Chains A and B, each alone.
Chain A
Amino acid sequence: MDGALPLIWRKFGERYDLDGNKCGTCGTAYFPARAVCPKCRRKGTLVAQKMPKKGKIVTFTELFAGPAGFEHETPYFIAIIELDNKARLLSQVVDSEKEKVKVGARVEKVFRKISDIDPEGPIAYGYKFKVVG
């Protein structure tokens, strides 16, 4: 478990603040950051960029049986979210009433615990989203 720590730690920027990148050539935003723009290949010029904190739900599902570490959180929603710059990511949707979680709903990033399985181990923090308005 602790052996995976350096890997998690290197992703703090991504998990804490949606650090991604953007292709200066075609303007496409990527999250997580990519090494190469798949559209422009060698002509692409990728620059670091923070993703916008708001977006909308593209598709979602309600989970009744969670994976290890999430058993007690069920039922909960996970959704594909399209950020305002068109980048897409998968995230848990929290603090949102069932009837408000739907395709097209506006969502906003929140900072939450992602996993806290081992009471003596490290706590992983990162982004989740909640429906706004």
Chain B
Amino acid sequence: MIGIVGYGAYVPKYRITIEEIARVWQKDGKAISKGLNVKEKAVGSLDEDAATIAVEAARKAVSHAGIEAKNIGALYVGSESHPYAVKPTASIVADAIGASPDLTAADLEFACKAGTAGIQMCLGLVGSEMPKWIEYGMSIGADTAQGRPGDALEFTAASGGAAYIIGKKNEEIIAEIEDTYSFTTDTPDFWRRPHAEFPRHAGRFTGEPAYFKHSIGAAKGMMERTGTKPSDFDYAVFHQPNGKFPIRVAKMLGFEKEQIEQGLTTPHIGNTYSASMMLGLASVLDKAKAGERIFAVSYGSGAGSDAFVIKATKNIEKNRPKPVFELFKEKEYIDYATYAKFRKKLKSL
């Protein structure tokens, strides 16, 4: 058996409401908030970036798993906001949690799905005959997502992180990963060129041919390969660029609202990009009981989706971390001026 032995979630403390952002741009905040199904978004402080967020999530995952960090043999950080263009975030995290130096580490980038690609890499390495020495692998999705001031993305682009530790000891696994499948094509729906401050996107093009096509492609492929159907699962989690898309894609695939509610995080904290589906999955694991099955699908622009079939084991009930939804409550509201300062939106900063 191979699966998750621990997970950790981190959400910065500060929040800005959609209405506050809309007020500055003289738009109808109530209508936008309702249209996106997002109330507010989490904002990293001035001294937070994808590396600090990744470290906080990683530390929680290590503590939840109850393992020695030095036994982590592979560490990947997926983000579209790595602090350096060249110089890995992963080595900072490895050092900060005490996993250095006996490990392989690298940064990954695939818009919002780099962290789940990292989980797949860990599954391969931990389960592999060569190398044999990798006992645990860790993959983190962490972002301080940015939207150009006044752009539609600004209403949802948020900060957060989630870390997963993959292991192979039956007595340690809290949720077995039964199978994984991916669906990838070259689709230019969202991008950021080197040296560009903010990403650009193809407007409405980001919906049907991008998010929906790939999420559905991966979901259907996964169900075909495992011979499963929506009713076989207790929970389903999808990538959440806003609060509406995951609800719609779930419905299109035949999942019920009750199956996806526990994993919906974007309505409360915005789209945390690489962390979005991983935070939703963490929230589901907070609740899942032994034997319950989870269907999880990430999405990254550019474009691709990673699907997972996961089954909770009896170990999950032994030691539960502080629930993701409880973390959301530790918050302080800021105005647009403070937000602009925190996220360095003014060029002089």
Contact = CB atoms under 8 A, between A and B. Distances in A.
A12, A73, A112 pick with most chain B CB within 10 angstroms: A112
Contacts of A12: 95
Interface stretch (B48-56, B274-282, B303-311): B48-56
Given A17-B98, A111-B56, A125 B92 contact: yes
A123 B83 contact: yes
Given A16-B95, A95-B13, A113 B52 contact: yes
Interface residues of B, number: 20
Contacts of A123: 49, 51, 83-84
Contacts, number: 42
B47 A113 contact: yes
B48 A113 contact: yes
B72 to A, nearest CB: 15
Given A73-B47, A95-B45, A97-B332, A111 B341 contact: no
B52 A125 contact: yes
A128 B332 contact: no
B349 A72 contact: yes
Interface in A47-105: 72-73, 94-95, 97
B290 interface: no
Contact of A94 (B47, B84, B92): B47
B70 to A, nearest CB: 12
A128 B55 CA distance: 13
A5 to B, nearest CB: 12
A84 B55 CA distance: 22
A17 B52 CA distance: 13
B261 to A, nearest CB: 29
A124 B95 CA distance: 13
Contacts of B95: 12, 16
A94 B45 CA distance: 9
Interface in B61-104: 83-84, 92, 95-96, 98
Contacts of B341: 72
A33 interface: no
Given A111-B56, A123-B49, 20 more contacts: A17-B96, A17-B98, A72-B341, A72-B349, A73-B47, A95-B13, A95-B45, A110-B56, A111-B55, A112-B45, A112-B52, A113-B46, A113-B48, A114-B47, A123-B51, A123-B83, A125-B52, A125-B55, A125-B92, A125-B96
Interface of A: 12, 16-17, 72-73, 94-95, 97, 110-114, 123, 125, 128
